[in-house]
Structure 1
């Protein structure tokens, strides 16, 4: 958020993973009201350009912070943790087996109720991972946070598959 909203005093920003999403949305709306390009249509081209740039930055910041997975990636990057693609090979074999089993169950499921049950289970796992991520980042335990991020990616992927199945009607 700090990177995206340069014109906000740093003292008013918190570098925490946990956040109040309603407060985030309220602040987003406030910023967009003041920065939106429509408000600058009668201004100089330089002011219009600045407005477009800042409005785009606020949009990007909001999208990043709104979801736990992208927020976790951002928070780790702020702390200097580089996240290379395809580095999940070191993941715990038991965890990978669990993910494989959930994916297989989802693929074999034929009823909407069963898909919904899997979806609830995955949301609970994501909620737990989000709480653990918050704790790890607050403690400065970046190694654990990086491992949790990998798990969050897997479960977020499954959550998307569940949403697709529900939309398709199984």
Structure 2
């Protein structure tokens, strides 16, 4: 689960040099189409691996565990915490309040990412699934706070 994002970007850029459509001039239509398809897959792989949430979902899928949109937090305390944060965000009247909530949420996101990492290292996929669902809620809250 833990990756070096600088190395990931380096590998991504190297692959894009090979497969980017702009690098396919003079190639046959079939070769250019294959390169376009490969370039698209490289982009998707990079985006999936770059973000901790999508990376966790992908690793769980590789291990036969699906997380659907309907999957929700099973921990009632966590659910109450998330609902409380969402309510605070909706009631925030100043940019400072929103920023403070984002900082608190960012700390929770980072802590959860560390917990997801530990769950994967211990091959505890059930914990990893539950933590990934938690991470999804926190990430959605961060997105809502940005808007």
* Fold shared by both chains (TM-score > 0.5): yes
SS at match of 1:97: helix
Runs of at least 5 residues in structure 1 that lack an aligned partner in the other structure = 1-16, 165-170
> Is structure 2 residue 51 aligned with structure 1 residue 67?
yes
CA-based RMSD: 1.0
* Superposed displacement of residue 41, structure 1: 2.0
- Structure 2: 5+ residue runs without aligned partners? none
Give the whole-Å Cα distance in 2 for the aligned partners of 1:59 and 1:85. 23
Aligned residues: 147
| Among candidates 99, 104, 116, match of residue 99 of structure 2 | 116
- Which secondary structure does the structure 1 equivalent of 2:27 belong to? coil
SS at match of 1:125: helix
Residue matched to 2:136: 153
Structure 2 counterpart SS, 1:145: helix
Supply the distance in 2 between the matched residues of 1:162 and 1:87 (Cα, whole angstroms): 22
TM-score by structure 2 length?
0.96
TM-score, normalization: structure 1? 0.84
Distance (Å, rounded) in 1 between the aligned partners of 2:33 and 2:85: 48
Work out whether 1:34 is the aligned partner of 2:1: no
Q: Distance in 1 between matches of 2:141 and 2:66?
A: 24
Whether 1:18 and 2:14 are equivalent positions in the alignment is: no
In the TM superposition, structure 1's runs of 4+ consecutive aligned residues that sit over 3 Å from their partners are none
Cα distance in 2, alignment partners of residues 104 and 75 from structure 1: 32
